[in-house]
């Protein structure tokens, strides 16, 4: 068998020792607990492999939660830095149960080995000394009842004459180790020392190790099963928590959507635009059939798109950009509305003394013209909500229709005199351009009441509002 030199892991070993100590409730393992073995050696050859021997002895099988059965004192690892080296070694000897002497020619001539053996013989018993031959040889002379001083080349001199009978010692076998040549059989030495210290045979130690290994594996399986169950429970609880959270979110969204649907129904008659926004918000939060129906219901609500007035409305007009609606009615006021919100935009434009008959936006959308039964045509600044200049006064009764020229600099009106006159006005001077055109010849029941520009911008068409209708066009 081969022995390999392995680095000793310190962080994991420290954590394992602390865990074992915590399980048994004895606190951290301390040096005051004593050692099972004290290793006495000399020479660089033995110094290289003794830490491995110490590791193998201490790591022999045991329940995972228990400390090592045999602790080993080695001056390379058991002595801390500081003065009084012999005092520390002596303390290690005093706390050890067995002295293991690594016999070799170097140990035979070592002062420290001799001093350690002398202390042991003085304070303890020769019967607790174990001999392990690492180099040289030991020869027992039966005739003398002692060691042969000439042939025992590995025997420290202090041990001569100390044994009453021939002791049993162990020789280190060398095993092939690849390019390194040969290495000592560390496992064999470790089992030999441990069997003597614990009073068991090597076979019993190996059987005990097998039992401990099986027990540790069984414990590991149980722990793995418990951890697996815990993981399953935690995973199940996590899934349940996620599902519960999703259900709570769904119920919250449904409650908010239901509240928005209720608000949309309440606003349908008063504020159709806000009602549609509420219904759309409910559908975005909870896209269910109920919210979809609420959106459709708000969209087709008869009140949607209705601009409420308190008096009859006789004329309406869109601004060129489609964002504003102008309306005029029986109270003589012109009102502007925002098409996006269907709400009034500012205060009414008040100037006419009778009902509004016609409203028109200029091509640029910044000017508004209105006509009424009071016989006037008024221009309004849409942005400032103010009247522009004096009104156009035809002094011919009610003005039925008004329309801007395509260049935005002229205005065409149809007023109510005996012949139904079409007039063209200059917006800059508020004066009539050219002569008036009397276009009613009596062929229709009443004079013309509406006028529009032709697409080629050179003609205006007018019509009578009483059936049978009559339509005519005139050069302008």
pLDDT tens track for 341-372:
777 888 888 888 888 888 999 988 889 999 88
Residue 114 lies in a domain: yes
Query: Where among 245, 270, 299 does a domain terminate?
Result: 299
Backbone angle region of 404, left / alpha / beta, with phi > 0 → left and psi within -120 to 50 → alpha: beta
The domain that holds 339 is classified in CATH as: 2.130.10.10
Alpha carbon of residue 324 to chain centroid = 48
Q: For residues 421 and 448, what is the distance between their CA atoms, to the nearest angstrom?
A: 8
- With a CB cutoff of 8 Å and minimum separation 6, the contacts of 265 are 275, 294
| 379-405 CB burial, b ≥16 within 10 A, e <16 | bbebeebeeeeebbebebebbbbbbbb
Q: For residues 219 and 354, what is the distance between their CA atoms, to the nearest angstrom?
A: 104
pLDDT of residue 17: 44
> Do 331 and 278 lie in a common domain?
no
Are residues 453 and 412 in contact, defined by beta-carbon separation less than 8 angstroms?
yes
- With a CB cutoff of 8 Å and minimum separation 6, the contacts of 262 are none
Residue 220 lies in a domain: no
Q: For residues 156 and 141, what is the distance between their CA atoms, to the nearest angstrom?
A: 16
> Do 24 and 171 lie in a common domain?
yes
Q: For residues 231 and 234, what is the distance between their CA atoms, to the nearest angstrom?
A: 5
Are residues 381 and 367 in contact, defined by beta-carbon separation less than 8 angstroms?
yes
Residue 43 lies in a domain: yes
pLDDT of residue 447: 54
For residue 446, what are the CA distances in angstroms to 50, 177, 375, 469, 470?
132, 130, 17, 9, 10
Q: For residues 250 and 325, what is the distance between their CA atoms, to the nearest angstrom?
A: 42
Task: Domain count for the chain, please give it.
Answer: 3
Residue 383 lies in a domain: yes
> Do 240 and 132 lie in a common domain?
no
> In terms of C-beta density within 10 A (0-12 exposed, 13-18 middle, 19 or more buried), how is residue 124 classed?
middle
Residue 204 lies in a domain: no
The strand pairing partners of 379, in sequence order, are 369
Please identify every stretch of the chain with a pLDDT value under 70, giving residue numbers as ranges.
Answer: 1-33, 64, 77-82, 175-182, 301-308, 394-396, 417-420, 435-476
The domain that holds 179 is classified in CATH as: 3.40.50.10140
Residue 205 lies in a domain: no
Residue 221 lies in a domain: no
> Do 325 and 452 lie in a common domain?
yes
The domain containing residue 47 runs over which residues? 11-199
> Do 58 and 194 lie in a common domain?
yes
Query: Where among 299, 321, 351 does a domain terminate?
Result: 299
pTM above 0.75, yes or no: no
pLDDT of residue 437: 61
For residue 276, what are the CA distances in angstroms to 203, 253, 291, 301, 336?
91, 18, 11, 9, 22
Query: Where among 264, 299, 334 does a domain terminate?
Result: 299
- With a CB cutoff of 8 Å and minimum separation 6, the contacts of 22 are none
> Which among 2, 14, 62, 13 has a CA at the least distance from the CA of 36?
62
> Do 111 and 174 lie in a common domain?
yes
> Do 408 and 442 lie in a common domain?
yes
Q: For residues 143 and 109, what is the distance between their CA atoms, to the nearest angstrom?
A: 26
> Do 27 and 84 lie in a common domain?
yes
> Do 260 and 360 lie in a common domain?
no
- With a CB cutoff of 8 Å and minimum separation 6, the contacts of 282 are 256, 257, 258, 260, 261, 264, 291, 294, 295
pLDDT of residue 13: 43
> Which among 138, 194, 196, 207 has a CA at the least distance from the CA of 166?
138
Alpha carbon of residue 118 to chain centroid = 71
Q: Establish how many alpha carbons lie within 13 A of residue 289's alpha carbon, considering only the half-sphere containing its beta carbon.
A: 0
Q: For residues 437 and 453, what is the distance between their CA atoms, to the nearest angstrom?
A: 15
> Do 264 and 187 lie in a common domain?
no
**What's the pLDDT tens digit per position in 385-425?**
888 888 887 666 788 889 888 888 888 888 776 556 788 88
Q: For residues 402 and 376, what is the distance between their CA atoms, to the nearest angstrom?
A: 11
> Do 275 and 319 lie in a common domain?
no
Residue 151 lies in a domain: yes
> Do 293 and 319 lie in a common domain?
no
């Amino acid at each position: 068998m081969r022995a390999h030199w392995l680095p000793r892991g310190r962080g994991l070993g420290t954590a394992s020792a602390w865990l074992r100590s915590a399980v048994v409730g004895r606190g951290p393992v301390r040096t005051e607990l004593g050692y099972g073995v004290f290793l006495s050696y000399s020479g660089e050859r033995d110094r290289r492999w003794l830490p491995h021997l110490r590791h193998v002895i201490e790591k022999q099988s045991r329940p995972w939660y228990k400390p090592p059965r045999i602790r080993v004192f080695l001056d390379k690892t058991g002595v801390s830095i500081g003065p009084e080296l012999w005092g520390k070694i002596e303390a290690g000897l005093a706390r050890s149960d067995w002295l293991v002497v690594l016999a070799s020619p170097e140990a035979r001539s070592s002062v420290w080995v001799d001093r350690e053996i002398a202390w042991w013989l003085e304070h303890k018993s020769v019967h607790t000394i174990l001999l392990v031959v690492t180099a040289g040889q030991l020869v027992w002379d039966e005739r003398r009842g002692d060691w042969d001083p000439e042939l025992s080349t590995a025997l420290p001199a202090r041990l001569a004459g100390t044994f009453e009978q021939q002791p049993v010692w162990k020789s280190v076998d060398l095993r092939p180790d690849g390019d390194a040549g040969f290495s000592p059989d560390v496992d064999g030495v470790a089992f030999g020392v441990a069997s003597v210290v614990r009073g068991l045979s090597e076979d019993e130690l190996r059987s005990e190790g097998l039992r401990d290994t099986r027990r540790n594996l069984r414990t590991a399986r149980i722990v793995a099963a418990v951890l697996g169950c815990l993981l399953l429970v935690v995973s199940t609880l996590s899934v349940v928590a996620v599902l519960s959270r999703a259900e709570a979110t769904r119920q919250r969204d449904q409650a908010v959507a239901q509240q928005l649907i209720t608000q949309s129904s309440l606003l349908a008659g008063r504020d159709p635009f806000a009602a549609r926004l509420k219904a759309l918000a409910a559908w975005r939060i909870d896209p269910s059939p109920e919210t979809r129906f609420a959106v459709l219901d708000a969209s087709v609500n008869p009140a949607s798109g209705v601009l409420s007035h308190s008096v009859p409305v006789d004329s309406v007009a869109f601004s060129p950009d489609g964002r504003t609606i102008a309306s005029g009615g029986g109270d003589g006021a012109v009102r502007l509305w925002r098409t996006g919100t269907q709400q009034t935009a500012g205060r009414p434009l008040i100037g006419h003394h009778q009902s509004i008959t016609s409203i028109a936006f200029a091509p640029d959308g910044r000017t508004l013209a209105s006509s009424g039964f009071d016989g006037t045509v008024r221009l309004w600044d849409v942005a400032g909500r103010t009247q522009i200049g004096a009104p156009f006064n035809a002094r011919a009764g009610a003005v039925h229709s008004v329309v801007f020229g395509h260049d935005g600099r002229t205005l065409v009106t149809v007023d109510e005199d005996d012949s139904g006159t079409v007039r063209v006005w200059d917006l800059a001077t508020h004066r009539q351009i050219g002569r008036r055109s009397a276009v009613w010849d009596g062929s229709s029941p009443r004079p013309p009441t509406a006028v529009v520009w032709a697409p080629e911008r050179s003609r205006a068409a007018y019509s009578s509002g009483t059936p049978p209708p009559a339509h005519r066009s005139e050069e302008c």
